Amino acid sequence: MAHPASNDVDIDLSHHLSTMSKSRHASPLKDIIKYMSEPGMTSLAGGLPNPSLFPFVKADIEILDPGSSLSPDDATKSGHAGPETTYHLLLDRYGDPSQNTLSKAMQYTGGSGDAQLTRICYDFVKEVYQPAREDFNVLLSSGNTDAWAKVVQLLCEPGEYILVEQFVYPSAQHFYIPMGCKGVPVEMDGDGILPEVLEEILKSWATKHPGVKRPHVLYQVPVGQNPTGSSQTWERKRRIYGLAVQYDLIIVEDDPYYFLQFEAYVPPDAAKPAKPSNGDSDPSLIPAYLQLDIQGRVIRLETFSKTIAPGLRLGFFVASPMFTERLLRATEVSSQAPSGWSQAVVLETLRKWGKNGFLTWLSGVKDAYRSRRNWMCDAIIHNFQFDPEMHPHQGYVARVKTKSGSIVPALSFVPPKAGMFVWITLHLANNPAYKELREKLDGPTAVAQWSRDFWLLLIENKVLLTPGSYYDPWQGPDSQSKIPEDTSYFRLAYSYESREDIEAGIEKLSRAIATSWEA
């Protein structure tokens, strides 16, 4: 499926492959499958189960029209669902071999999965992301968690350092920590990692880590980052890609929230705070790294988890053929192929909707999450006293009154331009309980203790947030995260609860903050 073209910059990146990846051979079992369907072939070779013994006779899956008006609240739950246009995807046990049948979908396949689905994904990538290179491949995966695990094994040796965001998606690092790999956190602002910090780390690596291999893999979630909600601007992506070329990095873009890019948040009462948070109000999608990648050093991880449903466990890699070939070898001997059910359901859905229908669906999903983002941000704005002007780095800064009557900063946040999360920073310098802890403990221990106590207080008040400490990058047993002093972080998801519950949750949070700071 790759189409080499002369304008691609072809450089040999095979030195990035791990010893394990280089040592993989094609599974002889999987290799044989492609011959089985050759006309006239009597195959006594494979150990395929007989499809007449699969219990599935017919599947009828009813799906929404992609143009359905998607209510941000679950209208079915609240009993307000209107009449919906739906389609039926019918899968029979047997039928035209060129079509999807249950006996085919439920059978073992080659590790690369369904060729028609791969083709649809390939065409989608080509048209929607417009990759800089002609020579790229699409390989189906079992979603980004599994895809990242395969990429770590593709590129990393045990004990290596991996460049990560200052706050890192936990599942990503909990795969490589047991390999002895360590994260090198790159400081972030509301637009993702800071290129100047990345450059400094790379430039000074040899002096600061004599004899230790310089990291060659940068893992990042460039859009609606989990947990901070930050999204990289195009300019930032360009600078980071430039550094990847200069310092020979492979960029892994784990991008589940790409299609959930929104217009900048505008508070309901324009008087408080005065400006929308983060610059442009352009709702168009900021292109992916693929569009910059003339050298084939980007591995994009794409998942259907946020655009269709996570239970599918289905996604795909987009990368140079050299990488996808090695990833295919790894797939053959681990997950074998993504789930046949999931591939069949997604293939039929995308066929029914067509490319434009899928884009319409994505836009509807985005609109629903944008409304949810606004509910949460509105509720925060409503429940706290914010400074009239925005802070260039902290975003919206809210103040509370202490017992002594002074007005002090307590919470700040940057409204996200994408994704599912609001990341709040709590400023502890004037918090009485924290000040007490600080008399006995060092800074990081006091922050950890205070954050734990506050989290438990929130739970007592029946609101559950994700502690920021879950996202501290693991830098080895002797190294602490460089979290700014006197600050605590929490992640709030606006993706799931009803509007009422989001508002109630924020109110509970604001009461707990008032109580804690006024004590």
Nearest CB to ligand PMP, comparing residues 305 and 481? 305
Nearest CB to ligand PMP, comparing residues 221 and 400? 221
Under rule CB under 6 A, residue 310 binds ligand PMP:
yes
User: Considering the complex, what minimum distance in angstroms separates the CB of residue 307 from ligand PMP?
Assistant: 10
For 402, phi then psi, to 5°, come to -90, 175
User: Considering the complex, what minimum distance in angstroms separates the CB of residue 130 from ligand PMP?
Assistant: 23
Residues 44-63 binding ligand PMP (CB under 6 A) are none
User: Considering the complex, what minimum distance in angstroms separates the CB of residue 139 from ligand PMP?
Assistant: 14
Segment interacting with ligand PMP, rule: CB under 6 A, options 75-83, 302-310, 425-433, 506-514: 302-310
User: Considering the complex, what minimum distance in angstroms separates the CB of residue 290 from ligand PMP?
Assistant: 17
Q: What Cα–Cα distance (Å) separates residue 159 from each residue in 74, 165, 179, 204, 476?
A: 46, 19, 6, 20, 10
Nearest CB to ligand PMP, comparing residues 301 and 483? 301
Residues 95-154 binding ligand PMP (CB under 6 A) are 143-145
Compute how many other C-beta atoms are within 10 angstroms of the C-beta atom of residue 41. 10
User: Considering the complex, what minimum distance in angstroms separates the CB of residue 254 from ligand PMP?
Assistant: 5
Nearest CB to ligand PMP, comparing residues 437 and 493? 493
| Alpha carbon distance 210, 290 (integer Å) | 33
Under rule CB under 6 A, residue 254 binds ligand PMP:
yes
Nearest CB to ligand PMP, comparing residues 144 and 261? 144
Q: Enumerate the H helices of 333-399 as residue ranges.
A: 340-383
Residues in contact with ligand PMP, counted by CB under 6 A, come to a total of 12
User: Considering the complex, what minimum distance in angstroms separates the CB of residue 57 from ligand PMP?
Assistant: 30
Six token digits for residue 488:
């605590």
Name the DSSP class of 477: T
User: Considering the complex, what minimum distance in angstroms separates the CB of residue 442 from ligand PMP?
Assistant: 32
Which one-letter amino acid corresponds to residue 443? G
- Of 17, 2, 25, the closest CA to residue 297 belongs to 17
Six token digits for residue 468:
């920021």
Which one-letter amino acid corresponds to residue 301? L
Out of 261, 303, 331, 430, the only residue in the binding site for ligand PMP (CB under 6 A) is: 303
The continuous run of DSSP H or E covering 90 comes out as strand 86-92
User: Considering the complex, what minimum distance in angstroms separates the CB of residue 253 from ligand PMP?
Assistant: 10
Six token digits for residue 432:
């009485």
User: Considering the complex, what minimum distance in angstroms separates the CB of residue 421 from ligand PMP?
Assistant: 9
Residue 203 makes CB contacts below 8 A (sequence gap 6+) with none
Q: Which residue has the tokens 């008032």?
A: 514
Under rule CB under 6 A, residue 409 binds ligand PMP:
no
Residues 194-223 binding ligand PMP (CB under 6 A) are 221
Specify which residues 302 forms β-bridges with: 316
Q: Which residue has the tokens 């070898």?
A: 329
Nearest CB to ligand PMP, comparing residues 149 and 381? 149
Nearest CB to ligand PMP, comparing residues 91 and 121? 121
- Asked if 253 and 286 count as a contact pair (C-beta separation under 8 A), the reply is no
Out of 226, 331, 488, 510, the only residue in the binding site for ligand PMP (CB under 6 A) is: 226
- Asked if 471 and 488 count as a contact pair (C-beta separation under 8 A), the reply is no
Radius of gyration (C-alpha) of the chain in whole angstroms: 25
User: Considering the complex, what minimum distance in angstroms separates the CB of residue 416 from ligand PMP?
Assistant: 13
Residues 256-295 binding ligand PMP (CB under 6 A) are 256
User: Considering the complex, what minimum distance in angstroms separates the CB of residue 226 from ligand PMP?
Assistant: 4
Beta pairing class for 298-303 and 250-254 = parallel
Out of 183, 215, 315, 467, the only residue in the binding site for ligand PMP (CB under 6 A) is: 315
Under rule CB under 6 A, residue 495 binds ligand PMP:
no
Cα three-residue angle 204-222-290, rounded to 5 degrees: 95
Nearest CB to ligand PMP, comparing residues 139 and 400? 139
| Alpha carbon distance 259, 447 (integer Å) | 35
Out of 169, 434, 474, 489, the only residue in the binding site for ligand PMP (CB under 6 A) is: 169
Nearest CB to ligand PMP, comparing residues 349 and 516? 349
- Of 427, 382, 384, the closest CA to residue 408 belongs to 427
Beta pairing class for 421-427 and 188-189 = unpaired
Residue 357 makes CB contacts below 8 A (sequence gap 6+) with 65, 66, 67
Under rule CB under 6 A, residue 305 binds ligand PMP:
yes
Instruction: Please give the order of strands across the beta sheet that includes 217-220.
Output: 137-141, 315-319, 298-303, 250-254, 217-220, 161-165, 182-186
Nearest CB to ligand PMP, comparing residues 353 and 471? 471
| Alpha carbon distance 463, 506 (integer Å) | 8
- Asked if 393 and 187 count as a contact pair (C-beta separation under 8 A), the reply is no
Residues 319-378 binding ligand PMP (CB under 6 A) are none
Nearest CB to ligand PMP, comparing residues 141 and 277? 141
- Residue ranges binding ligand PMP (CB under 6 A): 143-145, 169, 221, 226, 254, 256, 303, 305, 310, 315
